[in-house]
Structure formats: C-alpha cells, structure tokens
Amino acid sequence: MKYCRKCGKELDDAAVVCPHCGVLVNEDALKTTKQSNTIAVVGFIFSFLIAIVGLICCIIGLKKSAETGTGKGLSIAGIIISVANMVLGWLIYLPVLQQLAFAGLGI
Ligand SMILES: [Zn+2]
C-alpha cells in the first residue's frame, strides 16, 4: 500500500491520481501514456503537410489506440484531414493538369 504525498491518505497501488484530493501520484504511468500515442500526434501533424504520410501514421496510431486507449480521436481527425487534403489537392491540381495536357496536345 502507498500513500498520497499531498493528503497522506492510503492509495491503491495501481492509482494514477489520488481519489481523495486529485493530485497526480503516478507520473510514470502518465509518461507511458503520452509516449504511446506519439505516432498519432506525428500522423496528425503530417496530415496537414504530407497527406499520405499522415494517413499511414494515423492508421497505425488508430490501431495502437485500440491497445493503449489513447490517441483515438487524434488518429481519426488525422485520417479525415489527410483524406480531405488529398481530395482537395486533386480538385485543385487535376483541372490544371488537364489544361496542361490539352494545351500540350494542341486541342
Ligand atoms: Zn491525496
């Protein structure tokens, strides 16, 4: 049995936050949680920059979130942004490419 360093009450050994005063009592558990969804964070950032990289990272992040229980929302948001980014990219570049192709063919 361990004790809360703030209020001194008894705590469950698996406790991350003190149920009596709400202070964080297991910082290691929180660090592990934060590290486990790094791929989701990376994927989310890349979804704005390089959509395909973001999409792949977010899919991995989503699979990982099923095990760790973190980064699910971020992964889903990243996937949506990646797909939207790719669709928007095609909508912008496809007409330009078509015009260039037609111009090249002399039509
Ligand atoms: Zn406490």
CA of 18 to the centre of ligand 1 (A): 5
CA of 10 to the centre of ligand 1 (A): 8
CA of 13 to the centre of ligand 1 (A): 13
Summarize pLDDT for 11-29 with one digit per residue, the tens: 988 888 899 999 988 877 6
Per-residue pLDDT, 82: 96
pLDDT band at residue 40, thresholds of 50, 70 and 90? very high
Per-residue pLDDT, 9: 93
CA of 32 to the centre of ligand 1 (A): 22
- Contact call for residues 78 and 43 (beta carbons, < 8 A): yes
What is the signed CA dihedral for 24, 28, 34, 39, rounded to 10 degrees?
-170
Specify the higher pLDDT residue, 81 or 14: 81
Range in 8-12, 41-45, 67-71 the model is least confident about: 67-71
